[in-house]
Amino acid sequence: MLGRFTTLVGPLALVRLARTLHQINRENIDPIVQKKIRRTYLSGIILERYDSQNNTADVAGYKCQFCTYAGFSYLFNELFLNQAYLFSTSKDNPFIIDCGSNIGMSVLYFKMMYPDAEILAFEPDDDAFRCLQVNVDNNNFKSVSVIKKALSTREGKLDFYYDPDNPGALKMSTIRERMPKEKRVVEATRLSNYVNDEVDFLKLDVEGAEVGVIEDLNTHGKLPHIKQMAIEYHHHIFRDTDTLSNILGLLETAGFGYQIESSLGRPFNRETFQDILIYAYRKAINT
């Protein structure tokens, strides 16, 4: 299989290609799903076969509209190759809440893994939300609801910071320090308003608002409804502020166990921004 690519990539790239294909084959997922991921990786990422005029590509058999190819490629690597949001459940139709859905690549991923999943997706950005809505509509997804709102500790209007030169940028935030570019006003809501039944998986990637969202869920007694979650914690958006213990303490008090994943460059530098992924699970129940 690799021979056909030797004239297209150099030796080092070929080694990375082989390692990535090996990684896909080792994933503990259905072989049919593996094949879909492998095909998309080779076509859409290695050979960069996509519709550049309409910013569309095939992802595991789904039609995908995106804002920029760079953003599309990054999201595919994180979600489909690195399996950042893989979770186990005994249900065929798990209820998933996707906070910070961006263009909806996470929705495509969840639907690939669980075609009958019920998904509630939040995204406040104009450009990203347009792609999200198109991707839900064009793929005829059932049981997917999309809400064009930011998540906060209150209802109403909220400043939202974005980069007009990079539509759908993954660092867009309600916190200026995370995205010190242009500002627009968006609608905001509390996630606690939407958590009334059991949630099988919560994906929370809201670029600095995550502590407030978890605090709001805790205040309104909604954390016990959630079985598993993946929280993107954005450490040192404010360089001298350390609040990781706040969110971990809330999870511990609510009966969650967790694993933490991160990387830190060398040499060590204090007050460096750091992405931290927290995988949390309610201890009292099985998946």
What are the residue boundaries of the structural domains of the chain, listed by start?
82-154+191-282
Strand partners, 207: none
Q: How confident is the model at residue 1 (pLDDT cuts 50, 70, 90)?
A: very low
Q: What is the pTM of this model?
A: 0.92
pLDDT in tens, 189-238: 999 999 999 999 999 999 999 999 999 999 999 999 999 999 999 999 99
Binned at pLDDT 50, 70 and 90, residue 245 comes out as very high
pLDDT, residue 264, reads 87
In this structure, CATH architecture of domain 82-154+191-282: 3-Layer(aba) Sandwich (3.40)
Residue 119 · residue 96 · CB < 8 Å: yes
For residue 263 the two structure tokens come to 């990387």
In degrees rounded to 5, what are phi and psi of residue 257?
Answer: -95, 165
pLDDT digits (tens, 9 = 90+) for 32-70: 899 999 999 999 998 899 999 999 999 999 999 999 999
Greater pLDDT, 101 or 25: 101
**φ and ψ at 279, to 5 degrees?**
-95, 115
- Token pair, residue 190, equals 């509390």
The mean pLDDT value of the chain amounts to 92
The answer to whether the beta carbons of residues 154 and 135 sit under 8 Å apart is no
